[in-house]
Amino acid sequence: MHLVKKVRLYTCEIKRHRQIAPELCAVCPRVAKCKAFRVWHRSHEKEYLDFVLDIVNKFPEKYQMEVQFMNEKQHFVQIVDMETGKIDRIANLKEINAMSPEEKLALSKNKNLFIVTHRLQPIVKVELKKSVITKPMQFETAQTPEEMPEPELEIAPKAKEKKAEPKPKEKKPEPASKSPSKAKEKQAEPQLAPKAKPRKKS
């Protein structure tokens, strides 16, 4: 049975849909704290350094190289010479535990051993060049409303107004239908017949 080695894909912690690449990590502000970059940098250190140096050499007027320290949490043993006070070497704690008692005694002879929890590793990144301001910067002040000149308004000549002639009053037409009580009053009263004279008796 053949075992197939899986290829590990390193993904960015900020944008998870992107893989880690030198052109993205070289300008990232949190590259020193990124766990994924720390693992990727172990196997791609030369590729990353070549990219940063290439960008800085191509555009020296625009970009500059900055060095930051990336801390790696791991237990190390720092071996310091007691006479000179210089660090002899730094060994892994697992490596020290795997030694025999004779080797441990020979290693610690005239030496001070210190346990270190973090190791600092320098990394480079690309940054824009910073310019020093030597002269005070002057900005144009906006004119206040009092200082601003008032625009001249052109007054157009007034047109002669014609006096409106009074309109003749129109007579309102009388309504065709009137109330029955008023209609009866206006009807002509019938003339009474003349009274006959009384006849004389014979």
Residue-level pLDDT at 43: 87
**DSSP 8-state symbol, 165:** P
pLDDT, average across residues 156-165: 60
* Cβ–Cβ < 8 Å for 7, 43: no
Residue-level pLDDT at 195: 60
Written as six digits, the tokens of 145 are 């409303």
Q: Enumerate the β-bridge partners of residue 114.
A: 78
Handedness of CA 44, 45, 46, 51 (dihedral sign): positive
Where does 98-173 have alpha helices with state H?
101-107
> What letter represents residue 97's amino acid?
N
Q: What is the pTM of this model?
A: 0.49
- Say which residues have a Cβ less than 8 Å from residue 96's Cβ, sequence separation at least 6: 77, 104, 107
Q: How far apart are CA 42 and CA 151, in angstroms?
A: 71
Question: Across all residues in the chain, what is the average pLDDT?
Answer: 75
Residue-level pLDDT at 54: 92
Residue-level pLDDT at 61: 87
Written as six digits, the tokens of 130 are 């910073």
Residue that wins the pLDDT comparison between 7 and 29 = 29
Q: How far apart are CA 62 and CA 124, in angstroms?
A: 16
**Residues 92-145 pLDDT 10s:** 888 888 889 888 888 888 888 888 888 788 888 888 887 777 888 787 776 555
Percent of the chain with pLDDT over 70: 63
At 170, the pLDDT band (50, 70, 90 cuts) reads: low
Written as six digits, the tokens of 35 are 């766990």
- Say which residues have a Cβ less than 8 Å from residue 20's Cβ, sequence separation at least 6: 10, 11, 12, 36, 37, 40
Residue that wins the pLDDT comparison between 147 and 104 = 104
Domain boundaries, the chain: 22-128
Burial class, 28, CB count within 10 angstroms (exposed 0-12 / middle 13-18 / buried 19+): middle
Written as six digits, the tokens of 65 are 């190289």
